[in-house]
């Protein structure tokens, strides 16, 4: 019997988990609001998009980054052939995600199907759709399947979960459970309750990363600690965002991480920036993918977080999350 | 100069010949492209589509040509360079639509857009082209979301369509003629004459009792009997099906009541459906193989048939600015 070492699904195929290095788990490469590809005043110049992303990924690599996770799911501009070419030419591992959400990002196929009545898709069908993106490969719509998804990513509506959001969360959890890839959720109004939905599907908490936990309200509610205590990964994932009252600032983020480390939760923390490589149909968000390593890691050190803990957060934690089980 | 936008460029209305005014090369709900169960190879898509168009062209020989108006909106799998190749290779004129089948087929980017933006999108697709295909839309699709009630987004699209129609001269056709009062109000407010609007699917099985024909016809609107062939007599009819006889009698009633100039007919068939199984055996050629023989059987003369399938649609599709 062949002994197989643990791997992570990248767009170029499975990669030994130990090769990932420094990982940014919640980023966007090409981000396209659903429908914007048809807009009369938006152009998608593939050569230009490639050039911009290649530059950003190269800068990330030069700053010590080795793996980027595009956590935008299957219907927000994901372009697998572009990502494959980018990974080959920059040497950065790219993990692409399946999943969709929140409801407003879905097409009518899932919300008002051609049935009478037009009942929205239940969790089971989303589980099947997302699961096949892992077991059979991610889709290039109506053309072909490519490599396996490395993550199932979904998001709840900011005003509160809709029934379809709940189906997406449950479907994502079932797909993850069946295939061994992790789940990323970005909460809507209540991180802990929404996390519980995916845990109720039987998914172990250490297969889940909860995003948006550096929102001001999340920190005020104590959700980063609550999520860590339940055993899920806490994503402090807007590092670098310092001009938006809906989020805490980097200094507070550093204090939050230091607090989690002090509480013995260093193995639950993930850092990322939600930077957008190329934005189409929504405002650009220009932030280097390397911001966490270049600017935030030193800040953590100044908050007394030990180098070994910082390495754990940047390397070992995302590796544990992304390793296919 | 009378002209109609086809995917291969403008043609004189006199060249349109026999017109199937509400059809689909292939329709799929937005997002269906992600579900591999519906995928077809390009070979299969051409194989399913080309013979239907060629037969349509053969049947239409006596009319001097034929035109297939594709009613597939933005986000529904509309595929203009494919239509261009089909048209060039079969000789069938194809008119593509801008607009949306209904608010529930507009993806988020458009669902959040203003009336002004939507109008600019439609005008661009009519006057400059769709994407980078160079093909210009010849008609605007609008419609009512599922549930038989006009929603705010539906009406935003209707209003944008009315403004784009007034600016460019293309007509509008609707998906569903139910809950028509809010639509009539929008067209009146925008000053669009109702003969520029085809209120479609007035004949389908699920709409009966919900279509205010009096208001549509009284206001000078056109009424679409454009789901001919979705008959409950089929082995596996869709939920919007209707008994063949009942639909035919409904159609004849309007003709006999003096509304010949206001009726248009079509089959709403998919040559090769994109995100649903389609209805086996139902094609645009139902018009020739079943409907026209049925009409003749009922004593409808050739001049009337000509009026329904040649003159009325030519009048409707001709770019008209006042
Ligand atoms: Zn139709």
In a domain, A309, yes or no: yes
Q: Is the pLDDT of residue A54 over 80?
A: yes
Contact B18, B63 (CB under 8 A): yes
Q: What percent of chain A has pLDDT over 70?
A: 99
B111–A35 CB contact, under 8 Å: yes
CATH fold for the domain made of B4-317: TIM Barrel (3.20.20)
Task: Name the domain count of chain A.
Answer: 1
Strands across the sheet containing B197-199: B97-99, B139-143, B172-175, B197-199, B222-225, B263-265
Q: Which two tokens stand for residue B78?
A: 């509309």
Residue A55 lies in a domain: yes
| Within a domain: A83 | yes
Mean pLDDT score, A144-152:
98
Here the tokens at position B159 are 């209003």
Is residue A65's pLDDT more than 80?
yes
Residues on chain A touching B124 (C-beta within 8 angstroms):
40-41
**Which residues on A lie below 8 Å from B275 (Cβ)?**
109, 114
Across the interface, do B109 and A36 touch by the CB < 8 Å criterion?
yes
Distance (angstroms) between ligand 1 centre and the Cα of A153 equals 34
Burial of B240 (0-12, 13-18, 19+ CB in 10 A): middle
**CATH number of domain containing A267:** 3.20.20.140
Residue A1 lies in a domain: no
Break chain B into its structural domains and give their ranges. 4-317
In terms of residue numbers, what domain contains A57? 7-322
Measured distance CA(B15)–CA(B60) in Å, rounded: 12
Average pLDDT over residues A5-18: 97
Is B282 marked as a binding-site residue?
A: no
Q: What is the DSSP string of B94-139?
A: EE-EEE-S-GGGS-HHHHT--HHHHHHHHHHHHHT-STTS-PPP-E
Nearest by CB to residue B30, choosing from A36, A108, A132, is: A108
Q: Do A40 and B121 touch (CB under 8 A)?
A: yes
Q: Are strands A183-186 and A151-155 parallel, antiparallel or unpaired?
A: parallel
Judging contacts by C-beta atoms under 8 Å, the chain A residues touching residue B108 are: 33-35, 104-105
Query: B 40-59 residues with CB below 8 A of A?
Result: 40
d(CA A277, CA A68): 11
pLDDT of residue B315: 98
Q: What is the pLDDT of residue B322?
A: 66
B243 annotated among ligand-binding-site residues: no
**Shortest CA distance from A73: residue in chain B:** B34
Report the complex ipTM.
0.96
Residue B200 φ then ψ, to 5°:
-90, 165
Taking the centre of ligand 1 as the mean of its atom positions, its distance from the CA of residue B71, in whole angstroms, is 5
**Residue A88 and residue A3 in contact, taking contact as beta carbons nearer than 8 Å:** no
Q: Which residues pair with A271 in a beta bridge?
A: A236
Question: Does some domain include residue A2?
Answer: no
The pLDDT assigned to A3 comes to 56
Residues of chain B predicted below pLDDT 50: none
Q: Could you tell me the distance, in angstroms and rounded to a whole number, from the CA of residue A13 to the centre of ligand 1?
A: 41
Question: Ligand 1: distance of its center to the CA of B175 in Å?
Answer: 7
CB-nearest to B125 from A35, A40, A129 is A40
pLDDT digit string, tens, across residues A100-126: 999 999 999 999 999 999 999 999 999
In this predicted structure, the answer to whether residue A17 has a pLDDT above a threshold of 70 is yes
In a domain, A160, yes or no: yes
pLDDT of residue A4: 72
Question: At residue A219, does pLDDT exceed 90?
Answer: yes
Q: Closest chain B residue to A145 measured between Cα atoms?
A: B36
Put simply, the answer to whether B109 touches A281 (Cβ < 8 Å) is yes
Which residues of A fall below an 8 Å CB-CB distance to B?
Answer: 33-36, 38-41, 74-75, 104-118, 129, 132, 136, 139, 141-142, 145, 281
pLDDT band at A289 (very low <50, low <70, confident <90, very high): very high
Cβ–Cβ < 8 Å for A109, B31: yes
Single pTM value for the model: 0.97
């Amino acid at each position: 019997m062949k002994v197989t070492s643990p791997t992570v699904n990248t767009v170029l195929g499975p990669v030994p988990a130990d090769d990932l290095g420094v990982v940014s788990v919640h980023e966007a490469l090409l981000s396209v609001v659903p429908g914007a590809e048809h807009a009369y005043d938006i152009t998608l110049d593939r050569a230009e998009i490639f050039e911009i992303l290649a530059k950003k990924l190269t800068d990330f690599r030069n700053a010590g980054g080795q793996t980027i996770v595009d956590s935008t799911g299957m219907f927000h501009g994901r372009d697998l052939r572009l990502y494959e070419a980018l990974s080959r030419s920059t040497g950065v591992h790219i993990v692409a995600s399946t999943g969709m959400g929140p409801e407003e990002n879905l097409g009518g196929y899932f919300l008002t199907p051609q049935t009478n009545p037009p009942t929205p898709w239940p969790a089971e069908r989303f589980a099947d759709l997302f699961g096949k993106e892992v077991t059979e490969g991610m889709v290039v719509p109506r053309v072909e399947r490519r490599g396996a998804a490395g993550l199932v990513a979904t998001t709840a509506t900011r005003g509160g979960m809709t029934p379809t959001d709940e189906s997406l969360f449950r479907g994502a959890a079932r797909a993850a459970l069946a295939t061994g890839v992790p789940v990323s959720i970005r909460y809507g109004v209540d991180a802990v309750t929404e996390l519980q939905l995916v845990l109720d599907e039987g998914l172990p908490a250490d297969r889940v990363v909860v995003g948006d936990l550096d929102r001001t309200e999340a920190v005020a509610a104590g959700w980063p600690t609550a999520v860590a205590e339940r055993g899920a990964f806490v994503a402090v994932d807007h590092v670098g965002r310092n001009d938006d009252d809906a989020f805490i600032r980097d200094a507070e983020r550093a204090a939050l991480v230091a607090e989690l480390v002090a509480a013995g939760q260093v193995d639950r923390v993930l850092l990322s920036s939600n930077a957008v490589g190329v934005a189409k149909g929504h405002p650009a968000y220009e932030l280097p993918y390397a911001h966490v390593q270049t600017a935030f890691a030193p800040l953590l050190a100044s908050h007394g977080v030990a180098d070994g803990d910082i390495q754990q957060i940047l390397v070992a934690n995302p590796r544990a999350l992304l390793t296919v089980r | 100069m009378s002209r109609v936008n086809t995917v291969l460029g403008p043609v004189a209305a006199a060249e349109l010949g026999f017109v199937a005014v509400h059809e689909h090369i292939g329709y799929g709900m937005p997002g269906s492209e992600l579900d591999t169960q519906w995928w077809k190879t390009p070979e299969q898509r051409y194989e399913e589509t080309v013979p239907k168009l060629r037969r349509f062209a053969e049947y239409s020989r006596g009319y001097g040509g034929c035109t297939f108006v594709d009613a597939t909106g933005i986000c529904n799998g509309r595929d203009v360079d494919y239509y261009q190749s089909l048209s060039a290779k079969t000789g069938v004129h194809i008119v593509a639509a801008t607009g949306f089948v209904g608010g529930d087929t507009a993806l988020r980017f458009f669902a959040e857009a203003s009336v002004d933006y939507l109008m600019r999108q439609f005008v661009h697709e009519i006057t400059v082209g769709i994407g980078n295909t160079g093909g210009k839309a010849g008609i605007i699709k609008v419609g009512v979301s599922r549930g038989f009630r006009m929603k705010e987004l539906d009406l935003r699209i209707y209003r944008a369509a009315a403004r784009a129609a007034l600016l460019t001269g293309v007509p509008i056709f609707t998906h569903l003629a139910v809950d028509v009062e809010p639509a009539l109000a929008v067209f009146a407010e925008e000053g669009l004459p109702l003969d520029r609007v085809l209120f479609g699917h007035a004949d389908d099985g699920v709409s009966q009792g919900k279509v205010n024909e009096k208001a549509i016809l009284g206001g000078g609107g056109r009424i679409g009997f454009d789901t001919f062939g979705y008959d409950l007599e089929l082995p596996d009819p869709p939920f919007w099906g209707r008994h063949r006889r009942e639909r035919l009698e409904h159609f004849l009633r309007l003709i006999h009541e003096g509304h010949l100039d206001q009726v248009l007919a079509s089959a709403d068939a998919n040559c090769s459906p994109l995100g649903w199984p389609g209805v086996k055996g139902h094609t645009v050629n139902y018009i020739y193989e079943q409907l026209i023989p049925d009409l003749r059987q009922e004593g409808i003369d050739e001049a009337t048939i000509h009026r329904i399938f040649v003159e009325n649609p030519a009048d409707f599709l001709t770019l008209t600015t006042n």
